[in-house]
Amino acid sequence: MNKDTTLKEKKAGVSRRKALKAFGLGATVAAGAAVASATPGKPSKVDISFDDQMGNYFQDHYKKMTKEEIKEALARLERRYKATYDVDIKVDNMPAQPGVLFGYALNISKCKGYRECVKACTETNNQSRDPEIQFIRVLEMDKGSMNMEEANHYFSDDETVPKPDKWYLPIQCHQCENPPCVKACPVEATWKEPDGITVIDYNWCIGCRMCMNACPYWARRFNWKAPSLPKEDINPVTHYLANRPREKGVVEKCFFCLQKTRKGEMPACQEACPTGARVFGNLLDPNSEIRYVLEHKNIFRLKEDLQTEPKFWYYSD
Amino acid sequence: MKKLLKLLLIASLIFMAGGLAWGQDEDEEQDNSIRSNPENFEPATQLEKPSDLLKSEHVFRQVLRTVPTFTVDPREEEMDAYPCTDCHDNDEQMPNAEIRNLEEDHESIQLVHGNGRFWCLTCHNEDDRDQLTSLKNQPISFNESYLLCGQCHFQRQKDFFYGGHGKRKGNWQGDRKLSTCTECHNPHVPQIKGRNPVAQPKIRTGLSPTKTVHQVKYKPWEIKPKAGAAH
C-alpha cells in the first residue's frame, strides 16, 4: 500500500514529504521545541541547533535518501550524540559486501550458560543499561525437554553453571530469510539487507511494536523509557543501521554486529564465548566454518514449522 | 488337488535340503575368508612427521579438501616454567618413569587425563625436554599441541581443522587464526569446570519470573471466571 501511495505522489509531481518539508522550514520555534523532546538521553539539557532539529524531523527513509542526504544525516547524528553524551561517536553507513550472506551456528552441547555473550553484546552495541535491554536471552531448560514456555530466563548468578540437570539455549535475532517482522511493519522501517541481516531505521520507526508481535523468537526490544547509557560505557564505533545509540520509543534487536562483521570481524558474542560454542561466517563460501558445521553436524532451527527460514542454526556433537 | 499338495510338499523338501547344503558351503567359504591375504594387505599410512597431517586430504560429499591453513598464538611464551631445560638440563634431573604422586616439583599438577593410563612421558619428550612427543616418539612443539591431542581425539582434531571445534579469533574473513587446544583445556585436567554466570537480567516490566496464580490454575486458553459467578 505504501508503495502505491508513493508512486501516486511521484506521478502527481509533488510528494507529501516535500510539501511538509517546505512547510516545516517556515515553522515556528514552538514546533522546534516539540521536536527537541524526541532527542535521546536527557532532552531538556541537550543543546541542538534548530537546523538539526528540523533536519532530523524531516529526514527521509534511509533507503530513499541520496548519498548527500545520508552524509548530512550522519553528521547531524554525530553532532547530536556529541551534545547528548559528550563523546565523539563515529556513525558509519558501510554497505553490505557483495557475495556475502551471514549465518550463525550455535553448539548447544558446548553452551554452558555463562552469559558472557550477553555481557559483550550489551557493551558493544550501546544498549540501554537502565532499563536493561539485552538482545540475547539464555534460556535454562530441564534436560530432556524443550519447552520454551517453561524455560527460565533469569537463572541466578549465585549458582554454578552448568547445573547437572539443565541445558542452555541462547536465543537472539535469527535473521530470518523470510522475516515476519518485516511484513508486519506498517512503515517499512525494518527490512532485510543484501547480506541477510534484518535492520531497523531507528529514525523511521514509529514504535507501534507490530514487529515484536510478529517475531516468533522474542528477538525485538522496545525502548519504553529513554535509554540511559553512561558516557564511559559508550562504544564510539557505530553504524547507522546498527549500534548507534537509540532513543525512546523505537524498537531494536540483534543485527549480528553489523558494524564489525561488514569489516570482516567477528560479532561480539562469538568473540566473548568462552566455550567456542558459536560459529559465524559466510554461507555463500563453501570453505567457511559455518558451511562445515551445517554439512557435518546434527543441526536444527527453532520453530522451523513457521517457515521463517532463520539463518541461525543450533547443533550438537 | 491332493496331487498338487504332494507336489508342493516335495518341492518344499527339496528347497529346504538345498538351502541346508548351500548354508554349509557358505560356512566353508567364510572359514577361508577369515585368513588374511598378505598380498592385498595395505597398512594404514604412517606420517613421516606429525606436521604432515596438515597436508592431509579429506573427501566431503565427493569434494576433495585439504586442511585449510591457519595459525595459532604461540603457547611457549604463555608457559610459566618454559624452557623446561632450565631445570631438566643435566643427568641429575632425568625424568622418572615411575608413576607416583608429585611432591617436590610440579606438585600442582594433578594428572586426571586418561584416568591413570598416562604418565608424563606419554606426551613430554624424554630426549628433548623442550618438546612434546607423539606416540611414535616424534618431537612435537608446545605450540602445535593440536597434533598431539589429535592422536586420540582425531574426530575433534578434524573438526578443529575445518571449524567445527574450537574458535576462530578476530575475523571471519581473511587469515584464519584459531585458538589452540591448550588455550581452553588444561592438558592435565582437560574437562572444563563450571563457574558462576554473568548476572541475570532484571525482570522486565510487567512480567513475572515465576508463574502467577492464574497461570498455575488455568490453561492459557481458559477464561478466568469472574468473582461471584456461579460454580
- Is residue B134 within 8 A of residue B50, CB to CB? The reply is yes
Nearest-Cα distance to chain B for A262, in Å, is 10
DSSP 8-state code for residue A169:
E
| A48: pLDDT strictly greater than 90 | no
Which domain-ending residue is among A70, A86, A102? Answer: A86
- List pLDDT tens digits, range B40-54: 666 667 788 888 889
Does the pLDDT value for residue A184 go beyond 80? yes
pLDDT for the residue B209 = 66
Highest mean pLDDT (candidates A207-221, B18-32, B105-119): A207-221
Cα distances (Å, whole numbers) of residue B180 to A166, B73, B114, B146: 28, 7, 20, 7
Does residue B27 sit within a domain? no
Partner-chain contact B200 A155, CB within 8 Å: yes
Mean pLDDT over B70-74 rounds to: 92
Q: Is residue B33 part of a domain?
A: no
Does A164 reach chain B within 8 Å, measured CB to CB?
Answer: no
Q: Which is higher by pLDDT, B101 or B209?
A: B101
A131 & A188 share domain: yes
pLDDT band at B32 (very low <50, low <70, confident <90, very high): low
Q: Which of A267-271, A287-291, B101-105, B181-185 has the lowest mean pLDDT?
A: B101-105
Residues A125 and A80 in one domain: no
Using DSSP's 3-state secondary structure scheme, residue A251 falls into strand
Kindly indicate the confidence band of residue B205, based on its pLDDT and cuts at 50, 70 and 90: low
- Within B97-228, strands assigned E span 132-133, 139-140, 177-178
- Let me know whether A221 and A264 are in one domain: yes
Same domain assignment for residues A74 and A142:
no
Mean pLDDT, residues A188-198: 95
Say what the pLDDT of residue A41 is.
Answer: 45
Last residue of a domain, one of A68, A86, A104: A86
A29 and A119 together in one domain: no
Closest Cβ–Cβ partner in A156, A160, A280 for B194 = A160
**Strand A90-92 and strand A237-239: pairing?**
parallel
Query: What pLDDT does residue A33 have?
Result: 43
DSSP H or E stretch at residue A222: strand A221-222
Whether residues A81 and A165 share a domain: the answer is no
The per-residue DSSP string of B25-94 comes to HHHHHHHHHHS--TTT--PPP--SSGGGGGG-EEEETTEEEEPPP-EE--SGGG-TT-SGGGTTTSGGG-
Same domain, A227 and A280: yes
Give the list of residues 6+ apart from residue B105 with CB closer than 8 angstroms, or none.
Answer: B87
- Domain end among A86, A109, A136: A86
* Average pLDDT taken over every residue of chain B: 80
Left, alpha or beta for A176 (phi > 0: left; psi -120 to 50: alpha)? beta
**Binary contact (B164, A293; C-beta < 8 A):** yes
The answer to whether the CB of B140 falls within 8 A of the CB of B147 is yes
Asked whether residue B56 is assigned to any structural domain, the reply reads: yes
pLDDT of residue A15: 57
Question: Is residue B122 assigned to a domain?
Answer: yes
Alpha-carbon span B172 to A261, nearest angstrom:
8
How many structural domains is chain B composed of? 1
Using CB atoms within 10 A of its CB, is residue A123 exposed (0-12), middle (13-18) or buried (19+)?
A: middle
pLDDT of residue B47: 82
pLDDT at B26 over 90: no
- Is the Cα dihedral A134, A136, A142, A148 positive or negative? positive
Can you tell me the distance from the alpha carbon of B35 to that of A299, in angstroms, rounded to the nearest whole number? Answer: 43
Phi-psi region of A218 (alpha: psi -120 to 50; beta: other; left: phi over 0): left
Q: Are A160 and B196 in contact (CB < 8 Å)?
A: yes
A204 plus A65 within the same structural domain: no
Q: In 10 A of CB A145, how many CB atoms?
A: 10
Say whether the peptide bond before residue A131 is cis (omega within 30 degrees of 0). Answer: yes
Predicted confidence band of residue A39 (pLDDT cuts 50, 70, 90): very low
Distance from CA of B107 to the nearest CA of A (A): 27
Compute the distance between CA of residue A191 and CA of residue A188 in angstroms, rounded to an integer. 7
How many domains in chain A? 2
The pLDDT value recorded for residue A35 is 45
Residue-averaged pLDDT of chain A: 87
- Residues of chain B with Cβ-Cβ distance to A113 below 8 Å are 197
Of B165, B171, B198, the CB nearest to A264: B171
Mean pLDDT of A224-230: 90
- With contact defined as beta carbons under 8 Å apart, do A268 and A81 qualify? no
Predicted confidence at residue A31, as pLDDT, reads: 42
Q: Is the dihedral of CA B167, B172, B178, B183 positive or negative?
A: negative
pLDDT tens digits, residue range A93-118? Answer: 999 999 999 999 999 999 999 999 99
Residue B118's domain spans which residues? Answer: 52-184
User: In this predicted model, what pLDDT tens digit does every residue of A129-159 receive, in sequence order?
Assistant: 888 899 999 999 999 999 888 888 889 999 9
Question: Would B136 be classed as within a structural domain?
Answer: yes
For residues A232 and A98, membership in a common domain is answered with yes
* pLDDT tens-digit series, residues B87-135: 787 666 777 777 777 777 788 888 889 888 888 888 998 888 889 999 8
Say if B170 is an interface residue toward chain A (CB within 8 Å).
Answer: yes
Is the per-residue pLDDT at A19 higher than 70? no
Judged by DSSP in three states, A158 sits in: coil
- Judge whether B26 lies within some domain: no
Q: Are residues A111 and A25 in the same domain?
A: no
In a shared domain, residues A39 and A135: no
Provide the whole-model pTM.
0.79
Q: Label residue A34 by pLDDT band (50, 70, 90).
A: very low
Check pLDDT > 60 for residue A294.
yes
Domain interval for residue A54: 2-86
Identity of the residue numbered A241: L
pLDDT value at residue B70: 93
CATH number at residue A234: 3.30.70.20
Q: In this structure, is residue B99 part of a structural domain?
A: yes
> Is the torsion defined by CA of B112, B113, B116, B120 positive or negative?
negative
Decide if B212 touches A, using CB distance below 8 A.
Answer: no
DSSP B157-176: HHHHHHTSSS-B-SBSSSS-
Q: Who contacts B121 (Cβ-Cβ below 8 Å, separation ≥6)?
A: B95, B97, B133
The SS3 call for residue B214 is helix
Peptide bond into B83 cis (omega under 30): yes
Q: Which is higher by pLDDT, A101 or B14?
A: A101
Enter the C-alpha cell of residue A245: 545509540
Q: Which residues sit opposite B231 in a β-bridge?
A: none
ipTM of the complex: 0.80
Is A266 in Cβ contact with B170 (below 8 Å)? yes
Q: Among A156, A287, A288, select the one facing B200 at the smallest CB separation.
A: A156
Q: Would residue B119 count as lying in a domain? A: yes
Instruction: Calculate the alpha carbon distances from A22 to A30, A61, A187 in Å.
Output: 17, 17, 22
Among residues B150, B181, B146, which one has the least CA distance to residue B166?
B181
Nearest Cα to Cα of residue B54 among B174, B167, B178, B170: B178
For residues A144 and A287, state if they share a domain: yes
